[in-house]
Each structure stands twice: as C-alpha cells, then as structure tokens.
C-alpha cells in the first residue's frame, strides 16, 4: 500500500511540477468566473421580467448548460491526464527503473490510477462545485440532487480515466488517446440514438444505444446526472435539451462501478504480463 | 558450494518469429564482477531484462540471489542501470534518488544519508537541486549509477554504464565497480568498451546469436600468448615440432606464429630450435587483448 501511495504522490507531484494542475485549475476557475459573470446578468434580467416559475426554468437551463460544458471538460481531462501516465513511461523507458524496485507492477499501475483520479476529483470539484456555488450565490438557485449529480459526473470521468490507464498498458500514447476518445464517441452517439429512438418509437435504435452504453457507460451516467439535477417538472415533461427521454436505469450506476473494477483489474493484468 | 548470485538455465525469449535469446545458460558466483559481451543484437539487453523480471522468458528459468527470477521481494537487493537510461526529468537529482529510495523502503534520515553519500560518490552534489532535464548526458548517467546503488544492493546490473561518459566519468565508473567488488557485491556488466571490461571484470561470457558461446576468466586471457618467430628456414617437421609448445601453428608473412599458454616455455622453445639447427632471428610474445579474443569468438 505504501508503494501505491508513493507512486500516487509522484503522479500528483508531476502534475503540479509540469503545470498540468495549474493550467487545469486556472482555466477551470476562469470558466467558473465567466459563468458567474454571465449568470449575474441573466439572473438580473430574469428577476426583472419573469414569473417565479419562468425564473426557475431559466436558471435550471443555464446551470445545466454550464454543467454540460463542465462535464465535457471533465471527460477530456480524465483522458488527457491519464493517457500518457503509463504509456509514456513505457515508451521512454522510465518505467524500467520503477519496475526493478521491490514494488509489484499492480502497485505501480494502481498508484498511477489513484494519482490521476485525485487530479480528476479536484478538477471536477472546482468545475462542478464552482458552477453550483455560483448558481447558489448569484442566482439563489441549487439544482436538486446536486451531490448525486456531481458523483455521477465523477463516476463518468472515472470510467474514461480507467479505460485510458488500461489502454496505456499496451498502446502508445497517441493510439491510446485516439482509442479512448473513440470509445467515448461511441457512447456519446449511442446515448443520442437511445434518446432519438425513444422519441421516434424505434426500438432498434434504442437498443443499439443501450448496447453502446453498456460497452462504455459514460454518456448514460451524464444522462442520469442531468435527469437528477433538473427540477421534476422539467425532467418529467422532457422539456429542454438536457432532459433524457429514456432515463438510464439506476442499475447503470452499479454497472459502471463494476465496469471500472473489471477494466482496472484487466489493466493490472495486462501491465503485469507485458514485457518492458 | 555457495549458492551463486545468479543462475540462468536455458533461458529463451521469442518476440513473435524473432528469437532474441536462444539459450542463456550461465552462473555468476557471489562477489564476482562478470562481463557480458557480444555484438549488437546478440540478446544481451533482453537477457539482462529477463534476469531482472522486466521481460518474461518464453522458456527456461533461473535464480537471482536464491529466488526464482521475476520475484518482487528480491529486487530490494538488486540494483539496475538500464542502457537507455530515462528518468522523470522534471524531478531534481536529489528528489529522484529520494523517490527511488522510498520505493526500496528507505525512509527518513537513513534515506537522506544514503542519498547524500551517493551524490558525493558520483560527484553530483553541486547539481543535486537542479532538475534532471538540465543535466548533461554524462550527469544523467552518473545519477543513474547512483540510483542503481541505492539500498546497498547485493548484485548490480549495469547495462553500458560508461556510454555517454568522458574519460573522467569512465574512471569514476571503474572506481565504483572496484568499490563494489571490494565490498563483495556481485556486478553483472554489459559493456562495449572492452578495455573497461578488461580492467574491471573477473570473468566474461561471450554471447552470439542469443546463446553463450564462450566463458573465460580474465586470468585465462592474460595467459594466452601470441608468439611470432622469424626463422632461418621452415619445414613441415619444424612446424610439427613447434606444435609441442603451443597451438594454432601457422606461417604468416615470413613469420611462424603460434599461441602458447605458458610464457615459461619460451626459453625451452628457443633451445629446441637451436638443437634442430634452425636459426632464430626474431622472437616476440605478447598477450592477446580482450578485443582480439572478442573478434575471434564472435567475429
């Protein structure tokens, strides 16, 4: 366990020293600041002209739009932070001196996963926490189930982070990045196919979408997060672009958690058995 | 008989259809400085990586410090300097040694003291707080050597430790190897610089096409004399008579050459020629360099 923490600490130190953390957090803060400024003016207009019902709907839409972008940035960051952590060190040979120390390879890979996850969690906290805090302070609005929604977004990032680590055990950095973003693309398109298939009553499109979600459960976690973080009226009526027509089953959370465990275990196995 | 520090039995590694190591069988006693020599592509680095558990053998096995190769815990007693040495270049030299020391289980003052001592040993005290990316190639190599010596290992694998080093750096590596030998540490050295091997190693193995083709002690090499004679005349009977004193007797450009194992027989040889009535105009004997042996074995 000590070795896992040592490697995780090194991964965090690398992100700090190579200004990855600073870039992510500064631009994350800039994103939140821009959202705060925009929301300030939008909320002022809404309060001046709208009814309380309209105000709630409008604030929910704006906050969900910000969370949608935050979710996208978290997805990108989860892959970009992890894509090179093993693949790069294998390519450069840095990993050789690590793996000839009395540290098992699973500890090396787990430590890297943990380090990347901590960066992701911090980034998600800054982005989602910032958006929610701004919504509360500037718009006097808090989406329902905010903590659950944030946890689902973090889970989505964790799915992609774990896939990027697994890919890095066998693929070069660039190939790994292309593969993981490609898988994310499949899940994204699958999610939309499921929604459109539901609206159009096309079972084939819907089942294809569900299949894609089972293959990579990232988009369905966002759909679930957006479902929980909207007012009941909006989500149940299917009003607005963030209201899923086909709400993913709560079992998808268990599927995603199991998926992470299986992919991580596979990554450890692949790393353990490969030649360095 | 004491257990060897390192033992390999018929280790083989295939990368698809390519055979990188065909049959690595060797034994290195504890405390020996062992040279592992061969041309490029002979399978030296892959062999070393199999012994260290970085590459999984296709067949065969071996033991490292009494444990089957590939075991994690034995690595606390093993040091390794890879050939293409790469590090986390964003770390400072001292931080890097500290990190590797922590992976070895070292902590606190013991770690600090060891890092300081090693930085002094490889003459990097002044650069200890600079990022590794600012180091020259030679400095990185010396830092890598320090990293390999962390934890006072019982066996150290050095893959081309002098590549990128100037003569002073090479001298430093030579001194470090001698210090290790004096402490009873086993050294497994892979180097193309045969002159370095000649002055540091007790024994060498030559590898060709993925198998050990010859092992010899450096003492054996020192005994191997190349003798050149210029004679008044030669004949098959003279050449046959010379064969009693050595081997590989041959005529070559006006000289008769042969190889002898015992310098003390040279006076006897000259007396025999005089007895046969053959005038001896020139007699020269010199030891064969490791380079000549290398060329003969793997050339």
Nearest CB among A14, A92, A97 relative to B80 is that of A97
How many domains does chain A divide into?
1
Mutate to test the interface with A, among B43, B88, B153 (most CBs of A within 10 A): B88
A131-176, pLDDT tens digit by residue? 999 999 998 999 999 999 999 999 999 999 999 999 999 999 999 9
**Do the Cβ atoms of A94 and B86 come within 8 Å?**
yes
> DSSP characters for B164-219?
T--HHHHHHHHHHHHHHHHTT-EEEEE-S-HHHHHHH-SEEEEEETTEEEEEEEHH
Nearest to B73, CA basis, from A269, A273, A101, A99: A101
pLDDT in tens, A41-65: 998 888 888 788 888 888 999 999 9
Report the pLDDT value the prediction gives residue A142, as an integer from 0 to 100: 93
Q: How distant, in Å, are the alpha carbons of B4, B46, B63, B114 from that of B26?
A: 10, 15, 11, 33
Res. B220: pLDDT tops 80: no
- What is the rounded distance in angstroms from the CA atom of residue B281 to the CA atom of residue A41? 109
CATH of B224-298, one of 1.10.260, 1.20.1180, 1.10.287, 3.30.70: 3.30.70
The CATH number that domain B6-218 falls under is: 3.40.50.300
Domain ranges of chain B: 6-218, 224-298
Residue A101, both tokens = 């120390």
Q: Is the dihedral of CA B118, B124, B128, B131 positive or negative?
A: negative
Q: Do B52 and A102 touch (CB under 8 A)?
A: no
Which whole number is the average pLDDT over B122-140? 94
Token pair of B3, please?
């257990």
pLDDT digit string (tens) for B140-188?
Answer: 999 999 999 999 999 999 999 988 788 998 999 999 999 999 999 999 9
Q: Comparing A248 with A75, which gets the higher pLDDT?
A: A75
Q: In chain A, positions 54-113, which contact chain B (CB-CB < 8 Å)?
A: 92-94, 96-104
- The reply to whether residue A102 touches residue B80, judged by beta carbons under 8 angstroms, is no
Interior CA angle at A198 toward A192 and A199, to 5°? 95
Q: Is residue B221 very low, low, confident or very high in pLDDT (cuts 50, 70, 90)? A: low
Residue A240 has pLDDT above 80, yes or no: no
A230: left (phi over 0), alpha (psi -120 to 50) or beta: beta
Residues in B lying within 8 Å of A, measured between beta carbons: 49, 52-56, 72-76, 78, 80, 82, 84-88, 90-91, 99-100, 102-105, 144, 147
- Give the domain range for residue A172: 2-273
Residue A93: how many other CB atoms lie within 10 Å: 15
Mutate which: A95, A101, A109, A271, vs B, most B CBs within 10 A: A101
């Amino acid at each position: 366990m000590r070795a896992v923490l040592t490697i995780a600490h090194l991964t965090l130190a690398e992100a700090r020293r190579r200004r990855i953390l600073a870039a992510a957090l500064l631009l994350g803060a800039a994103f939140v600041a821009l959202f705060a400024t925009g929301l300030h003016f939008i909320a002022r207009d809404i309060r001046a002209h709208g009814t309380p019902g309209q105000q709630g709907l409008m604030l929910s839409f704006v906050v969900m739009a910000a969370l949608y972008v935050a979710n996208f940035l978290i997805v990108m960051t989860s892959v970009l932070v992890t894509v090179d952590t093993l693949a790069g060190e294998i390519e450069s040979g840095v990993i050789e001196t690590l793996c000839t120390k009395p540290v098992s390879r699973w500890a090396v890979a787990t430590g890297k996963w943990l380090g990347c996850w901590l960066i992701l969690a911090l980034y998600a906290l800054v982005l989602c926490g910032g958006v929610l805090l701004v919504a509360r302070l500037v718009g006097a609005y808090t989406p329902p189930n905010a903590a659950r929604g944030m946890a689902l977004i973090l889970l989505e990032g964790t799915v992609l982070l774990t896939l990027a680590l697994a890919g890095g055990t066998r693929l070069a950095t660039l190939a790994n990045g292309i593969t993981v973003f490609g898988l994310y693309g499949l899940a994204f398109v699958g999610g939309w196919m499921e929604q459109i298939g539901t609206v159009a009553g096309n079972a084939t499109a819907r089942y294809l979408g569900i299949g894609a979600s089972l293959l990579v459960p990232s988009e369905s976690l966002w759909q679930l997060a957006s479902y929980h973080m909207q007012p009941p009226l909006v989500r149940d009526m299917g009003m607005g672009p963030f209201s899923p027509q086909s709400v993913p089953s709560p079992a998808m959370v268990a599927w995603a958690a199991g998926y992470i465990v299986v992919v991580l275990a596979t990554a450890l196995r692949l790393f353990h058995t490969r030649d360095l | 008989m004491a257990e060897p520090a390192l033992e390999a039995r018929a280790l083989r590694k295939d990368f698809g259809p390519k055979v990188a190591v065909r049959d690595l069988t060797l034994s290195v006693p504890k405390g020996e400085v062992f040279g592992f020599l061969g041309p490029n592509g002979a399978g030296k680095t892959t062999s070393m990586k199999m012994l260290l558990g970085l590459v999984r053998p296709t067949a065969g096995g071996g033991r490292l410090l009494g444990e089957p190769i590939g075991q994690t815990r034995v690595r606390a007693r093993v040091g390794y300097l890879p050939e293409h040495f790469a590090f986390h270049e964003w770390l400072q030299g001292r931080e890097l040694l500290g990190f590797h020391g922590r992976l070895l289980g070292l902590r606190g003052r013991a770690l600090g003291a060891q890092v300081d001592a090693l930085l002094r040993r490889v003459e990097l005290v002044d650069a200890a707080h600079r990022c590794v990316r600012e180091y020259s190639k030679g400095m990185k190599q010396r830092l890598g050597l320090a990293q390999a010596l962390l934890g006072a290992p019982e066996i150290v694998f050095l893959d081309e430790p002098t590549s990128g080093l100037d003569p002073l750096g090479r001298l430093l590596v030579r001194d470090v190897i001698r210090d290790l030998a004096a402490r009873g540490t086993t050294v497994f050295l892979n180097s193309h610089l045969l002159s370095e091997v000649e002055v540091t190693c007790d024994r060498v193995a030559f590898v060709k096409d993925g198998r050990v083709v010859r092992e010899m002690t450096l003492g054996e090499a020192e005994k191997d004399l190349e003798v050149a004679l210029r004679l008044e005349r030669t004949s098959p009977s003279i050449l046959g008579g010379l064969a009693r004193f050595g081997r590989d007797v041959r005529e070559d450009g006006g000289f008769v050459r042969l190889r002898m194992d015992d310098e003390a027989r040279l006076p006897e040889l000259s007396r025999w020629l005089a007895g046969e009535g053959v005038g001896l105009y020139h007699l020269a004997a010199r030891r064969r360099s490791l380079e000549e042996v290398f060329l003969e074995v793997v050339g």
